[in-house]
A and B are shown apart, each in its own frame.
Chain A
Amino acid sequence: MIDAHLRLPRAGFTLDVSLALPERGVSALFGPSGCGKTSVLRALAGLERAAGRVALGDEVWQDDERRLFVPTHRRPLGYVIQEAALFPHLSVRQNLDYGQRRASAGAQRVALEPIVDLLGLAGLMDRRPHTLSGGERQRVAIARALATGPRLLLMDEPLAALDAARKAEVLPFLERLHEVQAVPIVYVSHALEEVARLADHLVLMRSGQVVAAGALAEVMARLDLPTARGEGAGVVLGAVVVERDAAWQLARLRVGDGTGDFDLWARDHGLPVGRPVRVRLLARDISLARSPQSGTSIGNQLHGSVEAIADDEHASLALVRVRIGGSAVVARLTRRSAHALGLAPGLPVWAQVKTVALME
């Protein structure tokens, strides 16, 4: 468990958060710019001095009651920020060596080759940072952090400074990192898209406070949170590829963790059967019906029951959470439709899913 209680006065508000993050997978700190996410991350790293306590498992990094503060360079962490902050006077290889050498004093040396492979740096090792593209620099920064063999990887908007093309270039590396490396990651972002693709655990922040925290699917399915508003609103579900239909180029995905699983058809991206994936179902792409529909183009119809209804941002719209087996999806309808269907908690409905966005 990554356990942190932090208090820090900021201009306009006081940062005051308690975090209990799992010691595996990606925990995202998500919130609007200026809500204090970065300060939390800096305080976890010891770069900023907040009042409180920080512990990673049984390793205590800060405890004001015991007057304990481990300086940043003695914390076994990796830190990646927006602008790579590579050492301009060193080559890529020397940048990677820098932390690896220092971290391996008295400890097992981290092998560089798997990290270089993971981030696709083999061809860049002798280059200087200023000759690299933004995406390449960011990959080097991530590799440099991993080369210290960190027990915790902190990432502060590592994609925010990149344009869409560069983002698309780096994201797959982050996803692979997530799969391959056992190191827990705390990932700060204000982009819901990134969070949906990478996070397992989500902490929602606003004005220095934690608004909600929990497993990604759980938090995304809550209707009372800002994540339920806006175009990106929707749920993220874990699934496994169970069948590939070569004739129609579609893949059948089994959603759920064993109880009340259901199947979805999505575009076949060439992923093998048995491969775990995550799917994102946007609220705007789901409609509801009282009975199964025939004569419709929509291939994914899921039987479930209404769990909750809430008002959306615009007065004409409603958000409806539908429980389907062990999972929940959120649909956005007009309030008129909700009224016409007589939607109420407990009512059985069919959710029609127009688009299933499959994320590796």
Chain B
Amino acid sequence: MTPDDWSAVRLTAQLAALTTALLLLVGTPLAWWLARTRSVAKPLVASVVALPLVLPPTVLGFYLLLLMGPQGPVGQLTQALGLGRLPFTFAGLVVASVLYSMPFVVQPLQQAFEAIPERVLEAASTLRAGPWDRFFSVALPLARPGLLTASVLGFAHTVGEFGVVLMIGGNIPGQTRVLSVAVYGHVEALEYADAHRLAAGMVGFAMVVLVALYLASRRLGTAPGSSEAGR
């Protein structure tokens, strides 16, 4: 593998790790809210979160490009704050990935939270646990299988993204050239052997991750979350 390829591997891993971390930070409260709210805004918010599932990545990338570009509102904001422009930077890729992988993190978490019986949370409040306490001592531990699924899917999906990266990140080595783009580049240049090395590696990675997730969720599934429902 060329140094360029290795840099693509490193960059992809960084992007996916950072994106997953940010998504867990943002997505957990959002999923909790979606799971418990009776607000009329819920269907709207849930739909916005799910949009990347149905939209072509190029559409999402196109609008992000406009928003974050020099004339776009986000772009003007980042410039005003002295952060510069986001398109064609690593930071821009992170922002785009967070939005693009959002449903893969929020939805498993939301399902996990929804599966927690209301009476268990009420029991916690009759045992003197306030709202924050209930969340951290009961809801999060019980949502552990969902948390695992969300992290793995968020990470894996970010590794696999292509269209959005191409639209707003381009193909700058060491900055925005992630694995999927590198594969594309090799194929375009008819470097099939190089393309194979990266592509096969990604297939292998995806398989390992999914099998591990499947096994782990089966093990976790027999322990806490389902014990309540399964008896």
Contacts and interface: CB of A to CB of B under 8 A. Distances in A.
Interface of A: 45, 47, 71-74, 77-79, 81, 83, 85-89, 98-99, 102-103, 105, 128-130, 141, 144-145, 148
Given A128-B227, A129-B227, A99 B120 contact: no
16 contacts: A71-B125, A79-B123, A85-B120, A87-B120, A88-B142, A88-B224, A88-B228, A89-B141, A89-B142, A89-B144, A99-B127, A103-B128, A105-B128, A129-B227, A130-B227, A130-B231
Nearest to B224: A89
A144 B124 CA distance: 11
Given A73-B130, A85-B119, A89-B142, A47 B227 contact: no
B29 interface: no
B108 interface: no
B129 A73 contact: yes
Given A81-B119, A128-B227, 5 more contacts: A71-B130, A85-B119, A88-B120, A88-B225, A102-B129
A81 B126 CA distance: 11
B145 to A, nearest CB: 11
Given A47-B122, A85-B120, A98 B127 contact: yes
B138 A78 contact: no
Contacts of B224: 88-89
A73 B123 contact: no
- With most chain B CB atoms within 10 A of its CB, the pick from A45, A74, A86, A98 is A98
Contacts of A47: 122, 125-126
B117 interface: yes
A103 B225 CA distance: 26
B126 A45 contact: yes
A323 to B, nearest CB: 43
A86 B224 CA distance: 11
Nearest to A99: B127
B191 interface: no
A138 to B, nearest CB: 13
Contacts of B130: 71, 73
Nearest to B122: A47
Contact of A73 (B128, B230, B231): B128
Contacts of A87: 120, 123-124, 138, 142
Contacts of A130: 227-228, 230-231
B47 interface: no
A85 B123 contact: yes
B137 interface: yes
Interface residues of B, number: 25
Contacts of A81: 119, 123
- With most chain A CB atoms within 10 A of its CB, the pick from B119, B141, B144 is B119
Contact of A72 (B119, B120, B125, B138): B125
A144 B127 contact: yes
Contacts of B127: 73, 98-99, 102-103, 144-145, 148
Query: 6 closest Cβ contacts across the A-B interface?
Result: A99-B127, A130-B227, A79-B126, A102-B128, A89-B224, A85-B123
A72 B126 contact: yes
A254 B201 CA distance: 87
Given A85-B120, A88-B142, A89-B141, A99 B228 contact: no
B4 interface: no
A279 to B, nearest CB: 35
Nearest to A82: B119
B126 A78 contact: yes
A98 B123 CA distance: 11
Contact of A98 (B119, B137, B223, B228): B137
A71 B131 CA distance: 10
Given A85-B117, A130-B227, A130-B231, A148 B128 contact: yes
A283 to B, nearest CB: 38
Interface string B144-185: 100000000000000000000000000000000000000000
Contacts of A77: 126
A71 to B, nearest CB: 7
Contacts of A144: 127
A45 B124 CA distance: 12
